[in-house]
Structure 1
């Protein structure tokens, strides 16, 4: 809530709430960590109680699966499992059950309310601050893409590719979904059998396009201007409802997302 991650416990006996706990996590923590923290702290509360039978309700299947899976080595899941083993050894009965969220279960609704209040009101030091791998990966990827774009933008090369993808940030999700073959790769880089490219390497006497000698045969010319492909271009414009020109290529690619 509001960029904050919190967890809470609502403790009940004979249909009445007899206690509650609220926990603050660092903003980079995940909801999954918050759910695991609540379960681990619940087992701590039970260890300090004189009662002999307990039921713990949780609406997160992922957190419950982690606790019951001995191959899950998340520290909070391990702590919860170890506490449960200790409780069972001293004769306490503990059942951890899944319940559906937001269906009016009083204890669960109360725990959600406590967590929201914690997000708004708690100003104390975080009760849990372990940084999840997912956050680190996201941070590294974001930093890498930012540096990638700086280099991409500063250099004068890749002019054809930049017409398709002017910014690395917007290119990344599109490129991941494209199925590249030889033709598409040549088209988006300009490094193929285009007369302008062949002329650069002295493999042709002229870069001029067969449609008109005033135009160089480049990928962008073929896509947006070449009269030879006017029929195909018109059919594509009708299909995508966008007039194809060099300035619109980047927008067409972004719409492909």
Structure 2
């Protein structure tokens, strides 16, 4: 394990020149360069994170980036700085990469039954020869008039949709409008691990296969509200098995039946009758009391499931960490911190308030920089974050303005999670904190 520590120190020397960059650039460098370096080939060596000394070295290394990213004092703990920077702890990121590698290798995800396996990619040798692949383009339709105009030269019209309900049920459907005025409805219930993307593609495949097996030999217009599915079909080399199957059906329709298929993207839920019918049919298919088809999971499902487990582990570490006493007063969960950072970002002033490491005398006294922790406002109160924000008479006017705004909206002036619900209160709070930090040095010097 000493070798791992030496490697981390070498990496720290290698990336040290980047530490003078802007905090946003530090975050970008970490996420796009540093973390991928550490998670590379984690499937082979990632098990080393079970050793305490490795986790300690990783945390110490990551802390240097986190502190610079949030512009914090260098005395802020690793756990607090990493949480506020929203960097997934390195040892958890490595474990996550290792688990994803194992899923790709074995095709099995431990969270689901073993008979549901990883959705495979189609090998190049099993794909259609490039000369036989059909090039696909699509038009766009935003209203009923648009789709009528786009499909007027196609006697056969097909609307497709895939749906995943809140309960996890998945279904797909194709609604086919025949030239004689009749309608054919095709529905399939899919496995709960199927993504909406795959459901949308499956709906197109089901509809095209029905047309290929029917007696109709006229051009077909396919309308879908899934832009990602249509773009995947545009990629002639896409290895997804459903995309490959659709290309095979399209080739068969064109060469053996003389049928050309055109595609149109339609805007969802804007009153287009065929799209609304397909949407309702897909939802009905998801709740059918029948056996499911396509009992596979895409790698995106595995990544989502493993990331949920990673975040749960991070939350458990955050709750058990004793050095998070100040930041945990403001945020109880990692998700709360993420909401704050996404909405407000980080700044030198806000970081001092959240971490409790700043220019206030209770902090300076801890490190014997000043003789006492008392606030000059009365020489009896300890000058900490709570005193400055809620009690110190020096900032009474600013405090009154902020509390008035919050009271008018029935919001706790010092609960960040409540403040984030409205734009005006959180802006008022940020300005209040910035005023305190910027005036604090002069106050203490007096």
Note if contact 1:164-1:253 (Cα within 8 Å) is conserved in structure 2.
no
Note if contact 1:195-1:209 (Cα within 8 Å) is conserved in structure 2.
yes
CA distance in 1, matches of 2:394, 2:412: 15
CA distance in 2, matches of 1:20, 1:249: 53
SS at match of 1:53: coil
Post-superposition Cα deviations, 1:67-90, rounded to whole Å, max 9, x if no partner, equal 234365443223212321233222
CA distance in 2, matches of 1:244, 1:222: 17
CA distance in 2, matches of 1:168, 1:211: 36
Q: How do 1:46-85 residues align onto structure 2 when only pairs under 5 Å count?
A: 46-62=211-227, 63-70=229-236, 72-85=238-251
Q: For 1:175, which of 333, 337, 341 is the aligned residue?
A: 341
SS at match of 1:207: coil
Give the CA deviation at 1:174: 1.9
CA distance in 1, matches of 2:220, 2:381: 77
Alignment partner, residue 35 of structure 1: 200
CA 1:27–1:42 in structure 2 vs 1: closer, same or farther (change >3 Å)? same
The reply to whether residue 8 of structure 1 matches residue 173 of structure 2 is: yes
CA distance in 1, matches of 2:364, 2:412: 25
Name the one with the larger strand percent. Answer: 1
Alignment partner, residue 272 of structure 2: 103
Alignment partner, residue 151 of structure 1: 317
Q: How do 1:1-257 residues align onto structure 2 when only pairs under 5 Å count?
A: 1=165, 3=167, 4-13=169-178, 14-17=180-183, 19-62=184-227, 63-70=229-236, 72-98=238-264, 99=266, 102-105=271-274, 108=275, 110-131=277-298, 133=300, 135-241=301-407, 248-255=414-421
CA 1:163–1:45 in structure 2 vs 1: closer, same or farther (change >3 Å)? same
CA distance in 2, matches of 1:240, 1:136: 43
CA distance in 1, matches of 2:349, 2:279: 54
Give the CA deviation at 1:256: 5.3
CA distance in 2, matches of 1:23, 1:141: 29
SS at match of 2:189: strand
Note if contact 1:224-1:244 (Cα within 8 Å) is conserved in structure 2.
no
CA 1:36–1:53 in structure 2 vs 1: closer, same or farther (change >3 Å)? same
Give the CA deviation at 1:110: 4.9
Post-superposition Cα deviations, 1:158-181, rounded to whole Å, max 9, x if no partner, equal 222122212223222222222212
CA distance in 2, matches of 1:132, 1:122: 27
Give the CA deviation at 1:2: 5.3
SS at match of 1:65: helix
CA distance in 2, matches of 1:178, 1:136: 31
Give the CA deviation at 1:137: 4.2
SS at match of 1:213: coil
Note if contact 1:25-1:129 (Cα within 8 Å) is conserved in structure 2.
no
Structure 1: state its 5+ residue gaps.
none
Superposition TM-score, scaled by structure 1 size: 0.82
SS at match of 2:368: coil
SS at match of 1:240: helix
CA distance in 2, matches of 1:145, 1:220: 30
Name the one with the larger helix percent. Answer: 2
| Paired residues, number | 251
SS at match of 1:9: strand
